[in-house]
Amino acid sequence: MTTGGGADRVPSAALRTAALEQLLVERGLVDPRMVDAFIANYETNVGPLNGAKVVAKAWTDPDYRRRLLAEGTAAIKELGFGGAQGEHIVVVENTPTAHNVVVCTLCSCYPWPVLGLPPSWYKDPAYRARMVREPRTVLAEMGLDLGDDVQITVRDSTSEVRWLVLPERPAGTEHLSEAELVPLITRDAMVGVAKVAAP
């Protein structure tokens, strides 16, 4: 693809994806309805919004929180989330003195039903190696400075066990409902590389 001035430019990922989809549809290799359904599934049924609903419920329902920490997979299924890459999810809680962060040292195992597809940095070899060796430094580089009094535990996801972090509920949100809390909760907080910010 060339633009004015003769400079060669690589088309954006979105343009390349659209062109590839069009080519596959034109050749009868892919049904466009199937592609639309797949995209809709990841936009609405699978992704960080699901995890945020789990966290918000745990913050507002002490009984659910206990079940979530005792048997994450079953408690998450109570809200209708489960399936591939979510067969065994263990939930760990962050507190003012204990911080959990998730990494997959072998590849990029990740709890898709509650977090969607893993971000590119999660799959990066540098993140996977350095988070195990120097978590406090890597977290600081990602914008999360934790005091020396906070114990950091690195959780290694595998094909058998995937981890989800129950982040600390930010101060000043006690008056917010479960539905009002959901938009505050980010994927990064549920991986443990960020905290949930108060509104």
Domain segments of the chain as ranges: 13-43, 48-191
Exactly one of 104, 120, 157, 159 is catalytic; which is it? 104
What is the per-residue pLDDT for 5? 45
Diameter over CA atoms, the chain? 65
Query: Do residues 21 and 30 lie in contact, with contact meaning Cβ atoms separated by under 8 Å?
Result: yes
Q: Check whether 108 is labelled as a binding-site residue.
A: yes
Residue 35's nearest CA partner among 27, 25, 46 is 25
pLDDT, position 116: 87
Which tokens is 35 given? 């592609």
Give one word for 61, left, alpha or beta, with left for phi > 0 and alpha for psi -120 to 50: beta
Residue 94: predicted pLDDT: 98
**142 touches 194 (CB < 8 A):** yes
In tens digits, what is the pLDDT along the chain, a chain of 199 residues? 334 444 455 567 667 777 887 888 888 888 888 877 766 666 556 689 999 999 999 999 999 999 999 999 999 999 999 888 888 999 999 999 999 999 999 988 999 899 988 889 999 999 999 999 999 999 999 999 999 999 999 999 998 999 999 999 999 999 999 999 999 999 999 999 999 999 9
12, 107, 159, 177: the active-site residue: 107
Residues 6+ apart with CB under 8 A from 171: 198
What's the predicted TM-score (pTM) here?
0.79
Give the number of residues written for the chain.
199
Q: Look up 12 and say whether it is catalytic.
A: no
Query: Which residues 6+ apart lie within 8 Å of 106 measured at CB?
Result: 158
Flag whether 157 is marked binding.
Answer: no
The residue with tokens 């000043």 is 172
Task: Indicate the DSSP class of residue 182.
Answer: G
Does 120 participate in catalysis according to the annotation? no
- pLDDT at site 114: 95
Sign for the CA dihedral angle at 63, 191, 41, 184 comes to positive
Q: Is 109 annotated as a binding residue?
A: yes
CATH architecture of 48-191: Alpha-Beta Complex (3.90)
C-alpha–C-alpha distance, residues 87 and 96, integer Å: 30
107 is catalytic: yes
Any catalytic annotation for residue 108? yes
- Start-to-end CA distance of the chain, whole Å, equals 44
User: Which residues neighbour 120 within 8 Å (Cβ) at sequence distance 6 or greater?
Assistant: none
Q: What is the pLDDT of residue 36?
A: 74
